[in-house]
């Protein structure tokens, strides 16, 4: 029995692997977009139905404005690297939920983003929002949740197809989705992904925010504020699914030079665009 299960898992690893953008890591992906996106859209709408959207017009506009820029950056990066198929079917949406106790934000598959008002004082401005937005969108683009849900299908439901799992074991499947995407989580400031996933999202997010025109140096500054906000209450790194604040800040600073290439290119493009608009107006 153990041998046959090992053979089955090995087979899955061979035939159901995809590659994470930028990092190139191979990951297990059993769930096609045609199945995960409708499930994601339904769950996102359910969260909105059960929540109260913020009535702060300035902050709401900031979330939507930064979201639109990050969306454009992602679509541009994917197009330039022949990966547009990874975001086919995305229906981007950016909302700010009124909850001052939740220092949190997340992105479901298909570009469904939610921020909670509790994280806005730490973001402070558009650049801070871009740090969080880029990171959360990166989780979705890298299909980290789908990877975890695939692992859950193998471990808990024997690797059955999602459509079969939804029909035969809907409650267990919904629980897998909730766990994979941490719907409604109150854990820390971000979703409780593994340290590997968090590091990948930091790298991708830094690229996306840079392409959107936000200085990557804002990322470690945001995490410095997160560190101060935690009041020293974060668990030791070896006990946590997240990198420690110190490790994350160090890794971000190491990766900034690469991200700056995208930022400088974005800045040059914006200057040219502004120059063309000025010439036309004259």
Query: What's the rounded Cα separation, in Å, for the pair 62 and 88?
Result: 26
- Tell me whether residue 136 is one of the annotated catalytic residues: yes
List the catalytic residue out of 126, 136, 198, 218: 136
Tell me the two tokens of residue 6: 């090992």
Q: Which helix (H) or strand (E) holds 271?
A: helix 245-281
Contact 267, 214 (CB under 8 A): no
Contact 134, 72 (CB under 8 A): no
Closest CA to 114 of 129, 128, 127: 129
| Half-sphere exposure at residue 75, Cβ-oriented, CA atoms within 13 angstroms | 13
Query: What's the rounded Cα separation, in Å, for the pair 266 and 168?
Result: 49
The 3-state DSSP class for residue 3 equals helix
Helical axes 33-49 vs 170-181, angle rounded to 10°:
80
Catalytic residue positions?
A: 136
């Amino acid at each position: 029995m153990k041998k046959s299960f090992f053979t089955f898992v090995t087979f899955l690893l061979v035939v159901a692997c995809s590659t994470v953008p930028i990092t190139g890591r191979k990951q297990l992906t059993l769930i096609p977009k045609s199945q995960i996106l409708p499930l994601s859209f339904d769950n996102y709408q359910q969260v909105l139905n059960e929540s109260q959207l913020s009535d702060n017009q300035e902050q709401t506009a900031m979330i939507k404005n930064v979201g639109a820029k990050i969306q454009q950056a992602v679509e541009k990066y994917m197009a330039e690297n022949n990966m547009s198929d990874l975001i086919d079917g995305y229906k981007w949406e950016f909302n700010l939920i009124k909850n001052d106790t939740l220092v949190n934000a997340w992105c479901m598959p298909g570009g469904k983003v939610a921020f909670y008002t509790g994280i806005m004082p730490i973001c402070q401005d558009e650049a801070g929002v871009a740090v969080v937005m880029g990171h959360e969108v990166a989780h979705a683009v890298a299909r980290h949740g789908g990877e975890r849900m695939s692992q859950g299908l193998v471990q808990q439901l024997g690797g059955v197809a999602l459509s079969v799992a939804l029909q035969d074991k809907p409650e267990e499947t919904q629980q897998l989705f909730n766990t994979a995407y941490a719907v409604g989580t109150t854990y820390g400031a971000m979703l409780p992904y593994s340290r590997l996933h968090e590091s990948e999202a930091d790298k991708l997010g830094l690229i996306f925010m840079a392409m959107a025109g936000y200085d990557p140096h804002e990322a470690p500054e945001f995490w410095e504020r997160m560190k101060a906000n935690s009041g020293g209450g974060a668990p030791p790194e070896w006990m946590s699914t997240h990198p420690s604040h110190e490790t994350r800040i160090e890794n971000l600073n190491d990766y900034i030079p690469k991200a700056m290439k995208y930022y400088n290119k974005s800045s040059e493009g914006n200057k040219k665009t502004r120059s063309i608009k000025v010439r036309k107006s004259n």
